[in-house]
Each structure stands twice: as C-alpha cells, then as structure tokens.
Structure 1
Amino acid sequence: GNRHPYRPGGLQTPGNTLERRDKMKAYIKAEFFRIIKRPGTWKLLLFLFILTTPMLTWFPAMSLFKAAGTRSAMPPSAASMFFGIAPFWVLAFTKSCITDEYKFHTFKNTLVMGLSRKKVYVSKLITSAALTFGTFLTILLVYLAIGHLFCGISGNSLFFKTYAGLLGQMASSIPLLMAAVCVSGIFACLFNHFIPSMICYLSFLVLPYPLLQFIYYLTGTQWIRALYYLPLITPFHKVLLNQPVEIEGLFGVIQTQSDNFYIVITPEIFMYSLILGFIYISISIPIGLYIFKRKDIC
C-alpha cells in the first residue's frame, strides 16, 4: 500500500532527503549572489553610506573638544546608534528576495526546481537575514574605522568598556533583527507590490508603541500602561534604540544601564531580547509560510 519511494510523493529516502538539502543550499547560494550582483543592491549600499556621512562629520568636530582617552571611546559609543536603523534595512532585502519575485512573475520558475514552498520560503528568509547582517556589519566596520582615524585608539579602561558595551548590544540585538526579517517576510508575501508591504511593515515598527502611549494618556487604563512598559508589540524601539527597557509585572523592573559613553547590557536584558526575538520568530514564520503556501503563483 505504500507509494514507490522514488516517485513524487513517495517515501523519503536518505539519498532523496540529502538531494533536497543540497538543492536548498544551492538555491540560497544562488539567491545570495543574484542579489549581490544587482545594481540596485549597490545603489542601496551607497545610499546607506551617504546616510552615515552626517555622523562621520561629528568625529573631527568633537575630537577637538575631548581628551585623548575620551576621544577613543567616541566611535564605538556613536556606532551603537546603528542598531536603531538596522530593522529598516530589512525591507530592501525582503523586497529583493520575495516581493520582486511576485513583481516579475518568477516564482513559478523557482518552484520548478523541485523545492517545496516551505523550503523556498525559509531560503528566502535565510538569504534576507544574511544580507541584512552582512550589510550592517560592513557599514559598522567602515564607520568604526573612519571614527578611529579621527579619534585614535587607546588602551585605557573606558575604551575597552565602550567596546564591551557595543559587542553586548550587538549580541542582544541579533534575535530581534532575525525577528524583523521574519515579520517583514509576512508583509512581503501578503502583498504583490513593495509600497503596501513597506507601509505595513513601517507601521508595525512605528505606530503601535506611540499609539499605546496616546491611548494611555487619554484613558489612564492600567492594562494599556502594562503594554506600554512591556514593549512586546514593537521591541525594536526599546532594545535597539538604546532606550530604557522597563518590564513591569512578574520580573519587577529591568532597565538598561548607561555609564556616559557606553550601554551596559545586563544578563536580564540579554535574556529578554533572546526570548522576545524567539517569540516573534516562532509566530511570524508559520504565519508567513501559511500565506505563501496559499497564495497563487502566476
């Protein structure tokens, strides 16, 4: 009564599974290089570098007024501001990986390769995440290099504390950036065009938190205040923008600690970011996959 193992829909064999896994790896690699080679990707990178120019002009201006030991801590301290911008970069890569496939009607060619929709969707998310992190790290390293060109490098304790804070912030933000990729994937699959998906994603990032603030100030309702202090709806604002994280309820109050030049990422904040990122990823991937599986591919 079993189907033939070598026919479509039949039993899976180790060789068959390995072949599908190799196809998925090859597809991710092909997607990665396809997007890297596109002129639009390099235009995007140039635009992101231009956005950092006003921040770079700050280094030579401020270095004139700071002591040598303090100047060396300025680049990693200022680089922490990039974590607030990073979730917005996700849009460009989910557009290239998912939205453009709908736009140019190439999804049907992708599915002909023999990969299931699940593997195609997961491959798209992996590619988007890799490109997001690669772009983020490239700009961060260039920014730090230029910053130290003007401000120098010191071996004092403030310099190392500032870099420790930067690395801690980077490590704690990875789960949330992954979550941003998965959330953006939902809107990229939901719409066939970039503009509505962009509006919905940006609305998700920007609107809920100030809206909760506004409703609370109007009504004074305590459960809204609890949501306001627990940034469950938009975690990117609180954690990635270096704003104080305040969690009221079972955990008391957890707040980021700052010491002038650097942010101290406590174990509580790290675990909070890890758990929150896991929640977003575990919810948004099935939703995006559900939409992708049931959407017509033309």
Structure 2
Amino acid sequence: MLNYIKAECFKTFKRIYMRNTLLIFVLLAIAVNVLFFVAFRSSPTNSQELIRTSLSVIVPMLLIMVYTALIMVDIVFSDEYKYKTFKNTLSFGFTRTQVYFGKLAVSMIVTAVIFSITLAAYLVSLFLLLGFPEDMGLIGVVFNRVAAAIPLYIGALCLCNACAFIIPNNTAFSFVYMGFLMVPYLLFYTLTLLNPAFTPLFGTALVTPFYTSIMGLDIHVANMGDMMGVGFNVDNIENILNAALLPGTSVAYCLILGLAYAAAATLIGLAVYRRREIR
C-alpha cells in the first residue's frame, strides 16, 4: 500500500498538469495582492484598509476550493481512463482496495501541497507588497476558518474520488461531482426560504457550512444574491473578526458533516468499484 502511494506520488508530481495547476494557483494568489498594491500606489487609500480588503477575499474563497477538489482528483486520475491503464495497476498485484485508498491518499497529498504553497505565496506577497496588518488577529481568523474547513475538504475529496472510480469517464464524473455539490444545496436552500422547517435538511448539503459557519451568514434573512456575494465587502473581515474563533458547535458541525460525507462516499465508491468491470 505504501509503495503504491509512493509510486503514485512520484508519477503525479512529475506530471506537467500538476506543475501547471500549482503555478496558476500561485500566480492567482499573488495577483490579488499585486492588484491591491497597484491601487495603493495610485491612490491615497490607507494600506491597512487594503490589507483588510485583501484578507476579506480569502474566507469566501474557501468555498471555491471545494469545487477545485475536482481538479485535484483529476490530476491524480489524469488520462487513466483515456489510456486504459487501470488494468495495468491491478495486474501488478495491487488489490482494488489498495488502489482506491491509494488514489484517495495521493489526492489529499496533492491538495495539501498545492493549497499550502498557494496560501504561503499569498501571505508572503501580502506582507511584501501591502505590509503587515496592525491586528495580526486578522491572519488568525483566516487560519481559523481554513482549519474548520479541512474536514469539509476531506469530504469533498472522498466524494469526488468516489465519482472518479464509479464513472469511467473524466468529463462525466466531473459533471456528476458538481451536481452532488450544487443540486442539493440549491434545492434545500429554496425549500428553506419557503419554509424554515426544511432548515435541518438544508444543513446536510456539503457547501452549507461555508455560508452558515465559515462566513456566518443567516440563511433566514439572506437572499441568494447576498449569499453569493458575502465576503467580498470591504468590512466583511471585520464582521468575521467580531465573532473571534468559531464556536464549538460550528466546528463540530463542519467536522461531523465532512467526515459523514467522507465515510458515505468512500463506502459506496469502494463497494461499486470492487464490483465494476475494468476494461
């Protein structure tokens, strides 16, 4: 199992797909601060306000990262179905269970590497271009939200990994994964707005905690436009800071929901994959 993971990591990190993805993520992270730096140089805007504005972008970006789990899994599965190389791995003596969990482990490693380097690039460019925030608690708030979102990312990766193993087509499993994220959320959100009694059902959607816990939005008074735009206001980071650390109930909510998705997706995905014919 460990040898398989090492081999997959070596193969994955050598791919141009992996390198290009990392480069794009890093450049986008740096570009955010470059844009604010240009704005600072061309206008008398207070630098601390620019820092807060830049940081305010990070929290809602955590939601977008759930959708980029599709890219992380696709990096690991790159061209496996196109060139039909899955059967080669099994012919080397690895079991389907080892292959399944090996791919999942490599997906998590790839995600951790890309996101860690991207976050580091963002913070370094922030400090170099805009300076250090007077209140370092703002940085702590960002890391607090990132930590709370980790179980949700694990759930998303497990769900996407299951889709990739069940559906032997990169394009098809991509659409199915996006459907699992968006359809339940939009459906349950609409039902909740019509009748608050559906709130518990809405809470089972994987992306819900990013609005209700990570960004602290009240779904009972918000409309769809507010929910999609929250976090991009200049004062949003201040509102989040007022809440300090996430309460224990919110952390538990993110943890339980993320791990529940991870367990369910893994059990179903592995069960189907072990019975599916590999061509």
TM-score, normalised with respect to structure 2: 0.81
Over alpha carbons, which structure has the higher Rg?
1
Q: Does 1:279 align with 2:260?
A: yes
CA distance in 1, matches of 2:81, 2:101: 16
**Unaligned ranges ≥5, structure 2:** 221-235
Range 91-100 or range 130-139, more displaced: 91-100
Change (3 A) 1:108 1:58: same
For residue 288 of structure 1, report the CA deviation from its aligned partner: 0.9
Which of 244, 257, 275 in structure 1 is aligned with 2:217?
244
State the Cα deviation string for residues 211-261 of structure 1 (Å, max 9, x = none): 2233455xx445434423x244534642686252779xxxxxxxxx96346
Task: Kindly indicate whether the alpha-carbon contact (under 8 Å) linking 2:107 and 2:157 is maintained by their aligned counterparts in 1.
Answer: yes
For residue 290 of structure 1, report the CA deviation from its aligned partner: 0.9
For residue 122 of structure 1, report the CA deviation from its aligned partner: 0.6
Q: What is the DSSP-based 3-state SS (H/G/I as helix, E as strand, rest coil) of the residue aligned with 2:106?
A: helix
Q: 1:139 corresponds to which residue?
A: 118
Task: Kindly indicate whether the alpha-carbon contact (under 8 Å) linking 2:72 and 2:111 is maintained by their aligned counterparts in 1.
Answer: yes
State the Cα deviation string for residues 166-193 of structure 1 (Å, max 9, x = none): 1211211111111110000121112111
State the Cα deviation string for residues 25-49 of structure 1 (Å, max 9, x = none): 1111111121111112222223334
Which of 29, 34, 39 in structure 1 is aligned with 2:16?
39
Q: Does 1:234 align with 2:207?
A: yes
Q: CA RMSD in A?
A: 2.8
Q: What is the DSSP-based 3-state SS (H/G/I as helix, E as strand, rest coil) of the residue aligned with 1:47?
A: helix
Change (3 A) 1:258 1:59: closer
CA distance in 1, matches of 2:63, 2:264: 23
Q: 2:25 corresponds to which residue?
A: 48
Q: Does 1:162 align with 2:138?
A: yes
Q: Matches of residues 1-298 of structure 1 in structure 2 within 5 Å?
A: 24-52=1-29, 55-61=32-38, 63=40, 65-67=44-46, 73=52, 75-98=54-77, 100-154=79-133, 156=134, 158=135, 160-216=136-192, 220-228=194-202, 230-235=203-208, 237-238=210-211, 242-244=215-217, 259-260=238-239, 262=241, 264=244, 265-298=246-279
AA partner of residue 199 (structure 1): F
Q: What is the DSSP-based 3-state SS (H/G/I as helix, E as strand, rest coil) of the residue aligned with 1:103?
A: coil
State the Cα deviation string for residues 51-81 of structure 1 (Å, max 9, x = none): 4465234421554555455555555443334
Task: Kindly indicate whether the alpha-carbon contact (under 8 Å) linking 2:209 and 2:254 is maintained by their aligned counterparts in 1.
Answer: no
For residue 293 of structure 1, report the CA deviation from its aligned partner: 0.6
CA distance in 2, matches of 1:103, 1:236: 36
Change (3 A) 1:42 1:82: same
TM-score, normalised with respect to structure 1: 0.76
For residue 93 of structure 1, report the CA deviation from its aligned partner: 2.6
Q: What is the DSSP-based 3-state SS (H/G/I as helix, E as strand, rest coil) of the residue aligned with 1:101?
A: coil
Q: How many residues align?
A: 260
Q: 2:233 corresponds to which residue?
A: none
AA partner of residue 171 (structure 2): I
Change (3 A) 1:93 1:283: same
Task: Kindly indicate whether the alpha-carbon contact (under 8 Å) linking 2:55 and 2:237 is maintained by their aligned counterparts in 1.
Answer: no
Task: Kindly indicate whether the alpha-carbon contact (under 8 Å) linking 1:175 and 1:277 is maintained by their aligned counterparts in 2.
Answer: yes
Task: Kindly indicate whether the alpha-carbon contact (under 8 Å) linking 2:76 and 2:106 is maintained by their aligned counterparts in 1.
Answer: yes
Tell which has more relative contact order, 1 or 2 (C-alpha 8 A, sep 6+). Answer: 2
AA partner of residue 276 (structure 1): L
Change (3 A) 1:111 1:245: farther
Percent identity among equivalent residues?
A: 25
Task: Kindly indicate whether the alpha-carbon contact (under 8 Å) linking 1:74 and 1:151 is maintained by their aligned counterparts in 2.
Answer: no
